[in-house]
Amino acid sequence: MRTRRLTVGQAIIEFLLAQQSERDGRTQPFIAGVFGIFGHGNVAGLGEALLAARDRVRFYLPRNEQAMVHTAAAFAKMTNRLQTLACTSSIGPGATNMLTAAAGATINRLPVLLLPGDIFATRRASPVLQQLESPSSLDQSVNDCFKPVSRFWDRINRPEQLAPSLLEAMRVMTSPSDTGAVTIALPQDVQAEAFDFPDDLFAPRIWSVPRARADLSRLDAAATLLTSARQPIIVAGGGVIYSDACDALRRFAERTGIAVGETQAGKGALPFDHPQSAGALGVTGTSTANRLAHDADVVLVIGSRLSDFTTASNSAFANPDVRFIAVNVAELDAHKRSAVALVGDARSVLEDLDARVTGYQVPDTYARALIAHKAEWERESDRLFAGTGATVLSQAEVIGAVSAALGPRDVIVCAAGSLPGDLHKLWRARDPKGYHLEYGYSCMGYEIAGGLGVKMAAPDREVVVLVGDGSYLMMAQELVTAVQEGIKITVVLLDNHGFSSIGGLSQSVGCAGFGTEYRQRTEHGLDGEHVAVDFAANAASLGAHVVSVRDRASLPGALRDALTSRSTSVVVVAVDREARVGGYESWWDVPVAETSALDAVRDARAAYERDRKRQRHFF
């Protein structure tokens, strides 16, 4: 057997360089680059290997380990999971900084490869700087925290363990059903250790991403159920987009006339103005989709994990006889709500189902109701885009202006706050990759780091990050990375002095917005003047081109200025915290205190108990 003498760090880089993914006959390198922040846990191991291979693998230096994993996840999402980035960190805090974003990647079913440094395998120098010691085990480090948030986890204590671990890591990352964060913890001594690795490990390898077909008898059962439906609805989730099944979905919807409601991850599966598009579904849904869901007798779920935001905490589907059919690569998801489980790839299954429901059409009354609901929603969106006329702009108005400034292929990126709900309802998506919402984890701080990953994956598209002041203050520093790399993104920062979203939620549970505004402390609490933050100066200090919006009239010009600038730009706009977009025939289960001295809480509890009666079990 021919071998190559390499360190473990060098072997990892050589292996990663040889991995490709393939689907529908197209191949691409699976790992498109490596992000990393060095410390003693990785500088001499992977650091040396990256230096030696710098002409063949691009190394990116970010500002924060959590952010680099968000960037990798966004990159993977934008490439429909056919590519990702690797992330290396030192041991201890550098490693645990990645935890939050690892959970985000796994929840969103996005492949990311995490390579945290780890404590000495030999233990000779223990405890090393930043080592957390356990009185009950020497075989534990902070990297064990990655186990529940990773879809595959390993620690390489001997070089011989590396080959099976890397192969398993690749299998998981390229598996549509198992994918998520993959963590290989690398003790700092082992990273630098040399070993005679078999040459075959470094041979080019193509990981084909399959299009699994569903069980035939279940397809027949699903077709029988669907063709009996008088009020069906399709729920399109992220799986439709990841599987590149948007055209198949469009054909299916056109032929059957069934309306398509979209989850946050599925938005854009159909263009907003397609006749069968019912728009956003669920807690942050449109009146169109939520009314259709309310009456639906058969729900065809495609590529969704049916989170509470989609099902309106299990209140969205009110028809007592409603039945579900669920298409999903993951058995876990396909069986939810006692659905007829079609375990397989969204595109393949849609094609097979299509062939079995030939001639089926929704009733005329249904088709007419869909047209009327859509027209009503269009008028409602226009009303919200027109704004309130108040001195301070409403968030909906800003969304309308951003929408008007962008082309059909441009991408908006967002994750947390009140923006995701408003965007889900109002954004007029025209391209399956044009609406990039991280709403599986809804992680404040994802936005700018994520925007960077989106732009790296799609340099030919304009990328606009919409971010609240709260999220911006949590993680704005990747603006520096964007500037350093010459990767142009546009950030629209909406300043409303804190948490408008949670402020509104707090009011709705009787808690008066407590602790959700950025105000100076007084003797009574946090109820003084607004905390003055100069966002324009802050963004400028990080190297961004900054445009401040003074009034309504200057907003379109400011957006144009930012979009046409060659540099990463930030548009700072103040918005009215109380001018919220309401809910549309929906509900979200947030339990209210059952006993309280506050009248507002007792009232909210009474309303909660009333509303909760809408919640259903699906056995």
Ligand X SMILES: Cc1ncc(C[n+]2csc(CCOP(=O)(O)OP(=O)(O)O)c2C)c(N)n1
- Closer by beta carbon to ligand X, 118 or else 438: 438
Per-residue DSSP letter, 127:
S
- Closer by beta carbon to Mg ion, 239 or else 468: 468
State the minimum distance, in angstroms, from the CB of residue 474 to ligand X.
6
State the minimum distance, in angstroms, from the CB of residue 421 to ligand X.
9
- Closer by beta carbon to Mg ion, 380 or else 469: 469
Q: Which does 419 bind (CB under 5 to 8 A by kind): Mg ion, ligand X, none?
A: ligand X
Per-residue DSSP letter, 214:
P
Q: Per-residue b/e over 114-124, b at no fewer than 16 CB within 10 Å?
A: bbbbbbbbeee
State the minimum distance, in angstroms, from the CB of residue 420 to Mg ion.
12
Q: Which does 444 bind (CB under 5 to 8 A by kind): ligand X, Mg ion, none?
A: ligand X
Number of residues lying near Mg ion (CB under 5 A):
4
Report how far residue 146's alpha carbon sits from residue 154's, in angstroms, rounded to the nearest whole number: 10
Residues 35/87, Cβ–Cβ less than 8 Å: yes
Residue 240 CB neighbours (<10 A): 30
Q: Which does 173 bind (CB under 5 to 8 A by kind): ligand X, Mg ion, none?
A: none
Stretch that binds Mg ion, among 68-76, 191-199, 490-498, 605-613 (CB under 5 A): 490-498
Q: Which does 490 bind (CB under 5 to 8 A by kind): Mg ion, ligand X, none?
A: none
Query: In what side-by-side order are the strands of the sheet with 323-328?
Result: 277-280, 259-262, 233-236, 298-302, 323-328, 340-343
Report how far residue 153's alpha carbon sits from residue 140's, in angstroms, rounded to the nearest whole number: 13
Q: Which does 539 bind (CB under 5 to 8 A by kind): ligand X, Mg ion, none?
A: none
Report how far residue 533's alpha carbon sits from residue 566's, in angstroms, rounded to the nearest whole number: 26
State the minimum distance, in angstroms, from the CB of residue 440 to ligand X.
11
Helix segments in 346-464, DSSP class H: 346-356, 364-385, 395-405, 419-426, 446-457
- Closer by beta carbon to ligand X, 310 or else 500: 500
Q: Which does 89 bind (CB under 5 to 8 A by kind): Mg ion, ligand X, none?
A: none
State the minimum distance, in angstroms, from the CB of residue 200 to Mg ion.
54
- Closer by beta carbon to Mg ion, 451 or else 468: 468
Say whether residue 468 binds Mg ion (CB under 5 A). Answer: yes
Q: Per-residue b/e over 318-349, b at no fewer than 16 CB within 10 Å?
A: eeeebbbbbbbbbeebbebbebbbbbbbbbbb
Which of 352, 410, 469, 478 forms a contact with Mg ion (CB under 5 A)? 469
Say whether residue 422 binds Mg ion (CB under 5 A). Answer: no
Residues 148/102, Cβ–Cβ less than 8 Å: no
User: One-letter amino acid identity for 559?
Assistant: L
Contact mark string toward Mg ion, 118..157, x via CB under 5 A: ----------------------------------------
State the minimum distance, in angstroms, from the CB of residue 454 to Mg ion.
22
**By Cβ distance, which residue is nearest to Mg ion?**
468
What SS3 state is found at 325? Answer: strand
Say whether residue 470 binds Mg ion (CB under 5 A). Answer: yes
State the minimum distance, in angstroms, from the CB of residue 268 to Mg ion.
25
State the minimum distance, in angstroms, from the CB of residue 577 to Mg ion.
7
Q: Which does 418 bind (CB under 5 to 8 A by kind): Mg ion, ligand X, none?
A: ligand X
Report how far residue 274's alpha carbon sits from residue 290's, in angstroms, rounded to the nearest whole number: 17
- Closer by beta carbon to ligand X, 32 or else 98: 98
Helix (H) or strand (E) holding 473: helix 469-474
Report how far residue 385's alpha carbon sits from residue 403's, in angstroms, rounded to the nearest whole number: 10
Report how far residue 383's alpha carbon sits from residue 377's, in angstroms, rounded to the nearest whole number: 10
Report how far residue 49's alpha carbon sits from residue 60's, in angstroms, rounded to the nearest whole number: 14
Q: Which does 443 bind (CB under 5 to 8 A by kind): Mg ion, ligand X, none?
A: ligand X
Of 206, 208, 217, 253, nearest in space to 233 by CA: 253
- Closer by beta carbon to Mg ion, 314 or else 506: 506
- Closer by beta carbon to ligand X, 170 or else 494: 494
Which of 496, 568, 569, 586 forms a contact with Mg ion (CB under 5 A)? 496
- Closer by beta carbon to ligand X, 177 or else 395: 395
Report how far residue 499's alpha carbon sits from residue 495's, in angstroms, rounded to the nearest whole number: 10
Whether omega before 116 lies within 30 degrees of 0, making that bond cis, reads no
Of 66, 64, 189, nearest in space to 117 by CA: 189
User: One-letter amino acid identity for 254?
Assistant: E
State the minimum distance, in angstroms, from the CB of residue 468 to ligand X.
2
State the minimum distance, in angstroms, from the CB of residue 499 to ligand X.
4
Report how far residue 396's alpha carbon sits from residue 419's, in angstroms, rounded to the nearest whole number: 9
State the minimum distance, in angstroms, from the CB of residue 575 to Mg ion.
8
- Closer by beta carbon to Mg ion, 470 or else 513: 470
Question: Which residues lie across from 492 on neighbouring strands?
Answer: 466, 571
Query: Can you say how many angstroms the Cα of residue 359 is from the centroid of all Cα atoms in its chain?
Result: 37
- Closer by beta carbon to ligand X, 285 or else 445: 445
- Closer by beta carbon to ligand X, 238 or else 468: 468
Pairing of β 569-574 and β 31-36: unpaired
State the minimum distance, in angstroms, from the CB of residue 395 to ligand X.
7
Backbone phi and psi for residue 17, each to the nearest 5 degrees, phi listed first: -65, -25
Q: Which does 586 bind (CB under 5 to 8 A by kind): Mg ion, ligand X, none?
A: none
Q: What are the residues binding ligand X (CB under 6 A)? A: 416-419, 442-445, 468-471, 496, 498-502
Stretch that binds Mg ion, among 228-236, 249-257, 488-496, 538-546 (CB under 5 A): 488-496
Binding footprint of Mg ion on the chain (CB under 5 A): 468-470, 496
